[in-house]
Amino acid sequence: MAAELTPFQKLIRQRRSIRRYLPAPVEKEKLLACLEAARIAPSAHNAQSWRFLVIDDPAIKARYTEAAFSGIYKMTQFAAQAPVLVLVLAELDFLANRVGRQLQGVNFYLLDLGIAGEHFILQAEELGLSTCWIGWFNIRKTRKFFKIPRKYKIVALISLGYGASRPPREGIRKPLEEIVRTNAFRG
């Protein structure tokens, strides 16, 4: 008999990338709870280089998404229907980021933003909201539209709202035996 799943295990198994949203607004308290979950995420050398730009004004969002999801980025225009978009940025002037990149060859800010973004997304899921992590949008037009200084790296966009549908999980996950090695790396 399999062990019963914990509430957290159930949460991560039910979470999906949602691409259809209801027009219902997202309550301010829920949005703030998601941002707070991201804020308390761990980061390399506690740099906390993440920054978030919330886009929830319908008129601004409409003008922005027209620019960000045009041309080759048209396939992500589904996000325009989400009541809230959250732009995920990194402030690049932190010592931990510079040293990590030079000595380790790793852009730690990307790891940090991934953790903070996942905190945001899991909090949203727990609150009954749906999200999609988006990397395919026009970054140049985004920078210009919001007049974002060059010291900030635009990394991703998260759509947030109440999902219109919950599709089944896409694809089959690889078994642990295929992705985990113990004490030595063999093939």
Please report the DSSP string for 75-100 in residue order: GGGGGGGSSEEEEEEEE---HHHHHI
> Is pLDDT of 97 > 70?
no
Q: pLDDT of 135-151, one tens digit each?
A: 999 999 999 999 999 99
pTM, full prediction? 0.91
Cβ neighbours for 19, distance < 8 A, ≥ 6 positions apart:
78, 79, 132
Whether residue 96 has pLDDT greater than 70: no
Res. 184: pLDDT tops 80: yes
Mean residue pLDDT across the chain: 92
Domains assigned to the chain: 17-163 (3.40.109.10)
Q: How far apart are CA 178 and CA 114, in angstroms?
A: 23
- For the stretch 62-93, pLDDT in tens is 999 999 999 999 999 999 999 999 999 999 87
HSE of 135, CA atoms in CB hemisphere, 13 A: 5
Q: Is the pLDDT of residue 33 over 80?
A: yes
Say what the pLDDT of residue 100 is.
Answer: 67
Q: What pLDDT is recorded for position 107?
A: 84
Cβ atoms of 68 and 141 closer than 8 Å: yes
User: Of 5, 10, 6, which is closest to residue 126 (Cα–Cα)?
Assistant: 10
